[in-house]
A = this chain, B = another copy of it.
């Protein structure tokens, strides 16, 4: 397949409304040049907010949108499972890039309404309110839930403060009362850039040609049988070839009780020899495989930092601990 054979829609579909963190991820990706694959270097793709992850997938699958952007993983909440399930279940959509964003909230007011004595309410999605409790308490505000942080900013009243991404100030002509008002800094979210499966080789071509890397690949592995040992067999195939799993998540299959599909993110590209060899071995054992995406590791970091503070969780025991500690840690 060569550049120019694909007729992609001129839009990037994302989970709206305008001003979501996903919208910010779209802007970041566009600014980095991601939105100008060779087949349409003459025009920028236009962001288009949609109401659900399902609609984003459908727009990409039908070709109505050339790209789609969805959140896939958060350092606080883990995988965004509905996004993951949509990708695992889709025959026509794959991930061709990733964007990692720091999740930080600014506090906005309507222009000229920053007088603290007149501000009485704080509005955001319940998750946003839960992440900015200190600011709400310090300012004596009443929390008022909104359907999204972006909607809270868009619909802001004179007596309200809204919490949202920096982008919302510009989009909705708001005054910034304070920046970085989240209780705990450092949360990050990873987004995937989606493309039609047929278009992935074209989307990857310039970066394959330029040697950009290292790459990561997401693959769904559905083992042919289940029970003790199945994950050991699959992980041994990775280990024998020195292919690192950077992430593993399992999702239950509806039709067969206690059967799972494993979604593995591995270090390498699908076309690299050790990955091809690995896939061949898994296929040879009878497993079903589906590559869900591949992309160079995001320039702004190796992924998501954890939130667990210790080397090993407090209360863990090790080999040389005494009998009483072992009994307490292991509940023997």
Contact = CB atoms under 8 A, between A and B. Distances in A.
Interface of A: 75-79, 81-82, 84-85, 88-92, 94, 125-126, 129, 143, 145-148, 197, 200-201, 220, 222, 227-229, 231-233, 235-236, 238-239, 242-261, 270-271, 276, 279, 283-284, 286-291, 294, 302-319, 326, 328-332
B308 A289 contact: no
A313 B286 contact: no
Nearest to A198: B328
A235 B254 CA distance: 24
Nearest to A78: B81
A316 B290 contact: yes
A78 B254 CA distance: 14
A16 B199 CA distance: 48
B90 A82 contact: no
**5 shortest A-B CB distances, which residue pairs?**
A252-B306, A288-B312, A78-B81, A232-B239, A91-B315
A267 to B, nearest CB: 8
22 contacts: A89-B313, A89-B314, A91-B314, A229-B242, A231-B238, A231-B248, A232-B236, A248-B250, A249-B249, A251-B307, A252-B304, A253-B306, A253-B308, A254-B307, A255-B310, A257-B302, A257-B305, A261-B313, A283-B326, A284-B319, A287-B318, A290-B313
A315 B75 CA distance: 29
A254 B305 contact: yes
Contact of A279 (B245, B303, B330): B330
Contacts of A308: 85, 88-89, 251-254, 261
Contact of A243 (B228, B244, B251): B228
Copies in the complex: 2
Given A316-B222, A318-B286, A253 B90 contact: no
Indicate the member of A255, A291, A316 with the most B CB atoms within 10 Å: A316
A45 to B, nearest CB: 22
Contacts of A294: 331
Contacts of A235: 231-232, 235-236
B309 A254 contact: yes
A317 B290 contact: yes
B244 A289 contact: no
A129 B51 CA distance: 13
Contacts of A313: 88-89, 220, 222, 261, 288, 290
A255 B91 CA distance: 38
